Amino acid sequence: MNNRTSSGLFHRFIRHRLAAFSLMVLVLLAVASFCAPLVAHYLGTDAQTVDLFGRYAPPSTAHPMGTDELGRDVLLRLLYGGQVSLMVGLTSAVCATLIGTIIGVIAGLRGGWLDGLLMRVTDGVISLPLLPLLIVMAAIDPGKLGIPREIVNGESFSLYRIIFIIALFGWTTVARLVRAATLAVREREFVMAARAMGAGPVRIAARHILPNVATPIIIATTLAAGNVILLESVLSFLGLGIQPPVPSWGNMLTHAQEFIWDAPMLAVYPGMLIFITVIAFNFIGDGLQDALDPRAENDRISITGQNASGPAQ
C-alpha cells in the first residue's frame, strides 16, 4: 500500500467523526490504563492497599475517585482493570480472527469436501448458544482436567482461561466472511496466473488471497474486540471470569452491586467504562468499513460530480 493510498484511507476514516472521536477515546483509555504504575507512584499507594478506616472515602487529592468497600483507591483499580479488560478484548479478538482466517482461507481456497466439512463445523458452533456455552466452559474446574493446582491458583490463570475460551468459540463469523471473500478472489486472473506458474496453495494464500481479504478481517476484528469486552464483563459479573485480586471492569461491577446503596459510584464508574469502550469499538468498526470500502469513495465522488454539474435540463 503506497503513501497516497494510506493517506486516502486515513482521510476517509477521519471523515467519520464518531469513529475518529472513538479512536481518540480508546487511545486515551489505553494510555491512561498502562500508565497506572506512574499514577500509583504519584499518589503514593497502589491498587491492592487496604485501608478499612478509609472505606467509601469521597474524592480527594489522595484518592481522586474515592475508595471502595476495602478502602482501596478506585482510580487505580479502574486503570489496572482497564489493562485487563482491554488486553482480554484485543487478545481474544486477534486469536479468534487468526483461527477464523485460517479456516476461512482453507475452506475457500481448497473447496470440495474440505470446504463442506469446515463449514458444517462452523455452522455447528454458530448454532450453539454462545453465552450459556461460555458460562459452562468457564464453570469447569481446571484442576479436574489434570492442570496442576499451582497453575490454576495463579493470579493470571483466569485471565488466560477467558482468552482461550472466547477465542475457541468466537472465530465463526470471521471464518464465514473470509471464506466468502476467498471464493471471490480465487477466480481472479492473478490467482489463476499464479497457479499456472506453479505456485503452491500456501504461497497463493499468503501473497494473493490474504492481502485481498484483509478488509473484512480488520473490520471483524475491531467489532469483535468490543463484543469480547462485553462477554468478559458478563462472565466476571457472574463470578466466572477474571478472579480477584486481579481487577477487571466486570468483577469490579460484580462487587459493587453489594454496596450499591452505600456507594453507587462504585458501580457507575466500571459500568460507564464498559459502555464507552464497547460503543467506541463499534464506531471504529463502522469507520473502518467506510474507509476500506472503495465503493463508498466512488459513490461520494459520483454524488459530488452530479451536484457540481447541476440538475439535468
Strand, coil or helix: 87 = helix
pLDDT per residue over 20-48, tens digit each?
899 999 999 999 999 999 988 888 888 88
C-alpha grid cell, residue 286: 463502522
Q: Assess whether pLDDT exceeds 90 at residue 112.
A: no
pLDDT value for 188: 84
Mean pLDDT of 130-144: 76
pLDDT value for 293: 67
- This prediction has a pTM of 0.80
Using CA atoms in the order 109, 225, 172, 291, what is the torsion angle rounded to 10 degrees? Answer: -40
Q: Assess whether pLDDT exceeds 50 at residue 309.
A: no
| Cα-only R_g, the chain | 24
Using pLDDT thresholds of 50, 70 and 90, give the confidence band for residue 6.
low
Lookup result for grid cell 471473500: 181
Using pLDDT thresholds of 50, 70 and 90, give the confidence band for residue 248.
confident
Q: Assess whether pLDDT exceeds 60 at residue 308.
A: no
**Residue of 125, 95, 97, 74 lying closest to 265 (CA atoms):** 74
Which residues touch 152 (CB under 8 Å, ≥6 apart)? 142, 143
- Cα–Cα distance list, 301 to 5, 226, 306 (Å): 16, 32, 9
CA–CA separation, 169 and 133 (whole Å): 9
For residue 53, the Cα-to-chain-centroid distance in whole angstroms is 39
CA–CA separation, 252 and 242 (whole Å): 10
CB 281 within 8 Å of CB 22 = yes
pLDDT per residue over 262-305, tens digit each?
888 888 999 899 999 989 998 888 888 877 765 544 444 443 34
CA–CA separation, 137 and 17 (whole Å): 39
Domains of the chain: 16-294 (1.10.3720.10)
Strand, coil or helix: 67 = strand
> What region, left, alpha or beta, does residue 51 occupy, with left being phi > 0 and alpha being psi -120 to 50 degrees?
beta
CA–CA separation, 261 and 128 (whole Å): 38
- Cα–Cα distance list, 91 to 170, 260, 267, 311 (Å): 12, 32, 26, 52
For residue 86, how many C-alpha atoms fall within 13 Å in the half-sphere facing its CB? 21
Burial class (CB in 10 A: 0-12, 13-18, 19+), 287: buried
pLDDT per residue over 50-74, tens digit each?
888 888 888 888 888 888 888 888 9
